[in-house]
Amino acid sequence: MGDPSELDRTGKLLEAMMGGHADRTESFDAVRAALAAGRADVVVELSWYPDGGTHQIVLTQLDGDRIRCFNPAGHKGRSAGEILVDGPFRRRVEQDGSESFLVAELEARFAAGKAAALLFQGREADPR
C-alpha cells in the first residue's frame, strides 16, 4: 500500500501518547480478528481519493455484515441512515454519528493492496 509514512507516523504518535506498541498489518484477517475480539481502536489507512490519496479511519466494531468506524473528516449535521458516497465505497451514518460500511468493501481494499492497519498494543491503564 503506497507510501507507509503517514500510517507509520500515526503509529509513532500512538506509541508516544499511550505507551505501547503499534503493529502494522496488511492482513484483513488480523483486522477482523482484532475487531471480533472487541478491539475498538484499529486505525486503517486506505486509498480514499480518486487521485490515489489516502485517508485514515478508526474501526470500532463489527456489526453483522458491517463495520463501524470513526471518520475524522466527520459528517456533522448528517442524519442517521443517510448514505455517504464520497470516498472509496458507500457508507451509512449511524445513530451515534459513526459511519458503517460492508465488511466485504474493506476486505476487498486489503486484498487489492489498498489498505493497511495498525493494531495497537497499549500498556495497562494508569491507576492514578
For the chain, domain boundaries: 5-121
pLDDT band at residue 126 under the 50/70/90 scheme: very low
What pTM was computed for the model?
Answer: 0.89
127 backbone φψ class: left, alpha, beta (φ>0; ψ -120 to 50) = alpha
Q: What's the whole-number mean pLDDT along residues 3-27?
A: 89
H/E segment holding residue 7: helix 5-18
Average pLDDT of span 54-74: 95
The alpha carbon of residue 68 and the mean position of all alpha carbons in its chain are separated, in whole angstroms, by: 9
Q: Is the pLDDT of residue 125 over 80?
A: no
61 pLDDT more than 70: yes
Mean per-residue pLDDT of the chain: 90
CA separation for the pair 80, 6 (Å, rounded): 31
